[in-house]
Chain A
Amino acid sequence: MKDFPVEQIVDSGSESGTGGSGCSGRSATTLADLKKNQKATILKCSATGALGQKLMNMGFVPGTEVLMVRNAPLRDPIEIEIHGYLVTLRQTEAALIQVEFV
């Protein structure tokens, strides 16, 4: 259980029609790109293993609306409101969650 192999990017499924990642040449918007007080809807989550499971269990599933609450004073972890509660996660982790502005 110590090592979670890097798996291929797991496709979140049929839900979103927003083209194949990377095809358009423009980078997709992720949770890490949100500015303070911006709202967005989760499109897909590319994290796998422990992180993927944890995010899923905490409610980061496609179709969920999230609100970027604030950055930490040193910028790095960010605070997100999801399902009516507050979650903090690091930028590197937030960058794995693709979103679409509401």
Chain B
Amino acid sequence: MTKVALAGQPNCGKSTIFNLLAGANQHIANYPGVTVDKKTARIQIEGTKFEFVDLPGTYSFSTYSLEERVAKTFLMDEAPDVIVNVVDAATLRRSLYLTFQLLELGKPVVVVLNMMDVAERRNISIDSASLSELLNVEVVEAIGSRREGRQEIFDAVRRASATKTVEPFRIDYDALEPYITQLEERIRVETALPQRWLAIKTLEKDQVVLERTGISAAEVTDLADEIHRTHDLDVDQAIARLRYQNADVVFHKCVKEEGGSQDTITARLDRIILNQWLAFPILFGIICAIYQLAIVYGYKLTDYTWPLLAAVKNKIISILPVATSIEVPLITDFGIWMTNSVLALLNYLPIFFILFALIAILEDVGYMPRMAFILDRVFKRFGLHGQSTLPLVLGGAFVGGCAVPGVMSTKGIADDRARLATVLTVPYMNCLAKVPFYTLLLGAFFKDQMSIMMFYISTVTLFIALIVARLLTSTVLKNHETAPFVMELPAYHIPTVRGVLFRACQRVWLYVKKVVTIVVAVAVVLFVLLQYPGVSDEKMAGFHQEGDKAIASFTKKASKTQYAEFVDEPHEVFALLGIYDSYKANRMLATSKEAVAGMDARYLAENPQLFPLVRPDNKEAKQLNRQLRKLSKVNKRLQIAIKSEKIRNSFLGMFGRALEPLTTYAGFDWRINVAFLSSFAARESAVATLGSIYEKGKSDLSPEEAFAQDGAYTPIHASSMLLFMILTPPCIATMVVVRLQANSYRWMLFAIFFPIALGIGLSTAAFSLALTLGWTGAEMMRNFYIAVVLTTLILGFLRTKRSGWHVGKMEKGLEQC
């Protein structure tokens, strides 16, 4: 098998070339121990097996950035047979900087001149034959976006892998050469890597290489001092300068630039997009458009996809055993619980798909770094990065978003500390699934102040996120590695439909694979915790008695009708109830008259005797149908009562009660605790659990009314609950992606418990203040809002101290001006 590594500078179109070569059979994993994506693909072409590995894009192979370390370590340890160096043809000169370093590795190199069309448009003509001759390697022209050059690259790779002796272009390091030779002789390591390369890297004080050669950093520093003394040269800068000078020479020999490259399309577009006055409106417009398309329309799209999922759900329920008494069989309960948990997440797939596609478009177009350019000054103040904008917006900057794509989109943030801070703060944004909870509480306690309360809720989150970010970056993340803000603004590109869809699908699949599996596991645990140890026998007997009475009354009523023989046994009555409930559920999904007719026919065929009672066609059946409806209501009520009792007695219920002494200061009783605990698998569960605890048979009341009439809570309690929900940790799905992006369980646990502590702390404080000062619930919310906004502003005006990396001292004269 021929092992091929793809290397190139950022924005050179390396991924496009990789996709071009690999097609759909790609495998994405992480490089060991880091969050850098490792894409590999195995393909067989004309009898030759290839394994392609896409290295992270790097400008060079120094030790300072994670990507560079990863790429370098791979090239050193995995010994690829051929290195494919993808080069942006339009910026050949600086691309050669990396090419020279790849040539020094002594492996066969194939240079792929990508984006030849762009170069052509800019009147840059490259003589690839003489480039090939000069560098003494294969040079292939390609246009990745138009899928041109695939065969040529394969051919070149095959030819390159066949050549044994490689004598590529070699940079003459001039005054440094004697020192390189001297080091070469010192290095005695068993390795396939060329001595010369190790020597150069040693001279560059490359930590990874120093570890292997065993030469101490101090020794190299002494050498550098000597060079400085004798030649007045700084080693690093001298090497860089020589590489650029060589690049200049090669460039001038192979490239002809006609006319000024002044007015490129990119320059023209930037004059508008980065315009001092237009930049913000455009940015705002783009964010609104993403929000509208993904969250709003995506949510609407779920109206169409939900029936499909609901049909699946009904199908699963229809397979599960039917209740033969008021007690629902455990397996049925479990089946429904699991189906609900998974479907709640799958329901968001349309939103995720649109979001991921839009992000892919923004990435391909080249707008992401420009967003950072526009907003960096604001975010810098809070320890974030300009590129934190999009993750925060996706997390829910307006009414609701989702932290999952938000956290996933932090990948591109160049500064590791800011990236981690963003990962940890996105979950504070407004989760879409929290909205039902908000509406429930607002509907119950703040009918008149609904809109202003919603305004507080939906805007306070961004301020909280900023405060938390500032807090984290100046404390726990203080010493975390950070990168200088030096970023390329790549030329604008038109994204390809294929590439965008491919990436969107890839990310959705990643979500399904990673998140859903873990949610399933957590849902099982929660189910057990909510189900056991169960209802006491006496209580259960009471429920059974009530149920039997209702059944008996129904059977008695039916005994005088023609249907008597079909429903004289309790299990027959329950079978009838089962048909009734399933018909009702399916009926809600049927959209057309024809569908209803078809469904009726199907049900009738399956249950010829009982179905007429569900859909009565004569007077007698109609009367009995009324009774059936009543019975179904009683049955439902009893089931809910059992469920509520079960939760009360469950482990989770006990836990909720155990927490009560603590949470009571925030105004939460055990029922609220259980609702919060159970919502950890998916936020939607909070409302459902609350519902099943509160619906004590008053099923004709809406949940809002049931809640308001409960009597145990005042609007202050409600505000406190809202506060906690705003700050509360996100769902397990978010935690999974936090763990993926932060690449550490420690940060995941931190992301779970820090918000809980913060939420309990703040809601306790606000609740107590409200009680002592006599605020109403709405006043409490308003005051909290004001406090948060003021804190944000104060923090924003405080200067951050620079730490983590240091820049050289500024020139003295500079500080004066």
Identify the A interface with B (CB < 8 A).
1-14, 21-22, 25-28, 30, 45-59, 61-64, 69-77, 79, 83-90, 92-93, 95-96, 98
Contact = CB atoms under 8 A, between A and B. Distances in A.
A54 B65 contact: yes
A26 to B, nearest CB: 7
Contact of A83 (B91, B241, B274, B811): B91
B77 interface: no
Interface stretch (B187-195, B708-716, B801-809): B801-809
A1 B274 contact: no
Contact of A6 (B375, B481, B809, B816): B809
B319 interface: no
B808 A12 contact: no
Given A26-B813, A54-B65, A88-B369, A13 B237 contact: yes
Contact of A25 (B369, B488, B489, B813): B813
A7 B488 contact: no
Contact of B810 (A8, A54, A59, A96): A96
Contacts of A1: 63-64, 207, 481
Contacts of A73: 274-277, 279-280, 374
A55 B486 contact: yes
A59 to B, nearest CB: 5
Contacts of A52: 236, 807-808
Contacts of A74: 374-375, 377-378
Interface of B: 59-60, 62-65, 90-91, 93-94, 97, 207, 228, 232-234, 236-238, 240-241, 244, 261, 266, 270, 274-277, 279-280, 369, 372-378, 380, 386, 479-481, 483-491, 802, 804-814, 816-817
Which of B373, B374, B479, B491 counts the most chain A CB atoms within 10 A?
B373
Contacts of B380: 76, 90
B796 to A, nearest CB: 13
A79 B487 CA distance: 9
Contact of B811 (A5, A13, A46, A55): A46
18 contacts: A10-B234, A13-B232, A26-B813, A45-B237, A50-B483, A54-B65, A56-B236, A57-B240, A76-B376, A83-B91, A85-B490, A86-B488, A87-B487, A88-B485, A88-B486, A89-B484, A92-B802, A93-B485
Given A21-B812, A84-B93, A96 B485 contact: no
Nearest to B240: A56
A56 B807 contact: no
Contacts of B240: 56-57, 61
Nearest to B261: A84
Given A26-B813, A74-B377, A2 B804 contact: yes
A11 B373 contact: no
A79 B187 CA distance: 43
A69 to B, nearest CB: 8
A83 B94 contact: yes
B805 A14 contact: no
A-B pairs, top 3 by smallest CB distance, nearest first, are A27-B813, A57-B60, A86-B489
Contacts of B369: 88
Contacts of A92: 802, 807
B813 A28 contact: yes
B62 A53 contact: yes
Contacts of B228: 11
A4 B814 contact: no
A61 B234 CA distance: 12
A98 to B, nearest CB: 7
Given A14-B232, A70-B274, A89 B812 contact: no
A85 B34 CA distance: 30
Given A50-B483, A88-B489, A83 B93 contact: yes
B232 A61 contact: no
B807 A48 contact: yes
B805 A89 contact: no
Contact of A75 (B60, B62, B377): B377
B237 A56 contact: yes
Given A26-B813, A73-B279, A90-B376, A51 B805 contact: yes
Nearest to B283: A73
Contacts of A8: 808-809
Contact of A84 (B63, B91, B233, B810): B91
Nearest to A23: B813
B808 A96 contact: yes
Contacts of B375: 74
A27 B377 CA distance: 26
A56 B68 CA distance: 14
B119 to A, nearest CB: 11
Nearest to B480: A2
Given A30-B811, A56-B60, 12 more contacts: A10-B234, A52-B807, A58-B94, A59-B244, A74-B375, A75-B377, A79-B270, A83-B91, A84-B91, A85-B491, A88-B488, A89-B487
Contacts of A58: 59, 94, 486, 488
Contacts of B811: 9, 21-22, 27-28, 30, 46, 98
Contacts of A12: 234, 237
B808 A77 contact: no
A91 B485 CA distance: 10
A79 B376 contact: no
Nearest to B60: A57
